Amino acid sequence: MKQFYIIIFFLLAFSSIFFTSNCNEKDWRNDPKYQNKELEAKLQSSKTEILSKRKENYELTFGYNSKQEAIKYFLEEIQKSDKSTPLKSFISWSDQVEVIFPNTYGFGTALDTNSLGDYKVILSEREKLGVEMIHSVISLSTSFAIQNIEWETPRIYNELKAHKPKVVIRTKAGLQELTQIKMVYEIGNKYIVGVVGP
């Protein structure tokens, strides 16, 4: 009987040591090597999807006849909007994926280092802040007029031209520069506001 208790004692001691050592092991899901592999897989999947959409000719689903017209209608829509509805005068996510990203991928944008899903979150937050800032300047109670738009030399990204504007508007408070409109895209003789941020 004494041997039975000794065997039980050793089994309990051994099992407690075994379980304690296992509890101290790190969760494999928190292992940076695993996380990096998961991130690399997401990035590779996004890259494959984007590059599969490269072609010689692109067409926006909606656009305006000039850069100035694109900005004019964008500002007018923001002035009238309640900020919760998507803007028709701003590039759609589907056009970004189908037209813009295949042309800008590989030019050092944040898209190069983020998956499409993560990039969408980043863009959405920046766009929301930019639109809110513009809305606060040209809200419904304030009339405005575009005083001047200056354009930098266009940037060429494969089949896409990107025009960076400097927009100055006149409100009751005087002249104000809107720095939130970062880029107007030109593709196939159509123009649309494509990048907005704080």
| Annotated domain spans of the chain | 36-196
The residues, ordered by sequence, that sit 6+ positions from 29 with a Cβ below 8 Å of its Cβ are: 35
DSSP helix/strand/coil, 12:
helix
Q: What is the pLDDT of residues 60-112, one digit of tens each?
A: 999 999 999 999 999 999 988 876 667 899 999 999 999 999 999 999 988 89
Interatomic CA distance for residues 174 and 169, integer angstroms: 8
* Residue from 124, 125, 103, 95 nearest 192 by CA: 95
Q: What is the pTM of this model?
A: 0.77
**Side-chain-side CA neighbours of residue 26 (13 Å):** 7
Coil, strand or helix at 15: helix
pLDDT digit of tens for each residue in the chain (198 aa)? 566 666 666 566 666 555 555 555 565 555 555 567 888 888 898 898 988 888 888 999 999 999 999 999 999 999 888 766 678 999 999 999 999 999 999 999 888 999 999 999 999 999 999 999 999 888 756 689 999 999 999 999 999 999 999 999 998 888 999 999 999 999 989 999 999 999
Specify the pLDDT at position 3: 65
User: What pLDDT, on a 0 to 100 scale, did the predictor assign at position 158?
Assistant: 93
Cα–Cα distance measured from residue 24 to residue 104, given in angstroms and rounded to the nearest whole number: 46
Rg (CA), the chain: 27
